[in-house]
Structures are given as C-alpha cells and as structure tokens.
Amino acid sequence: MLEAVAELGAGVSTRELVDRLPMSRATVYRILKHLVAQEYLVRTPDLRGFALGARVRALGVAAAGLMEPESAETAG
C-alpha cells in the first residue's frame, strides 16, 4: 500500500487504492486506518486522500544512512 501511495502521489483516494490493489475494499480501509494511526500515512488537508507520512520519511533517512558507509568503503 505504501508503494501504491508513493506511485500514485499525494492525495490518492481510497477508491484509487481499492482499484489499484489486489485486496478487498474492507481490507484497504483497515490497512489505511492502521497506517494513518502509526503515521506511515497522513490524510491530506482536504481529507479526500492520503500521502506518505513522517515515519516513511524516517525510514528513508535511516536506509540512506545505512548505505553511506558502504559507499565510503568502496570509494577508498
């Protein structure tokens, strides 16, 4: 679901996600509710869609930090 939101962009609606993902509407709603509660997704200001949240950004930063030392080792 996170990948679908990233690909479809900020403001993606629940309906767009239901159409895109191979799962039932009830499952999409349940997962969306959980991801919003855990701050992996946020509601857009108009409450019509979703966008990636702060925890996804934090994961990206952490992953980038893990990759940097390897790059330094191979460069030297």
By C-alpha distance, which of 33, 29, 46, 35 is closest to 6? 35
Q: What is the pTM assigned to this prediction? A: 0.80
In this predicted structure, the answer to whether residue 73 has a pLDDT above a threshold of 60 is no
Classify domain 2-75 by CATH number: 1.10.10.10
Residue range 17-56, pLDDT digits in tens? 999 999 999 999 999 999 999 999 999 999 999 999 999 9
Write the CB contacts of 12 (distance below 8 Å, at least 6 apart in sequence).
4, 5, 49, 50, 51
Write the CB contacts of 19 (distance below 8 Å, at least 6 apart in sequence).
none
For the chain, the structural domain boundaries read 2-75
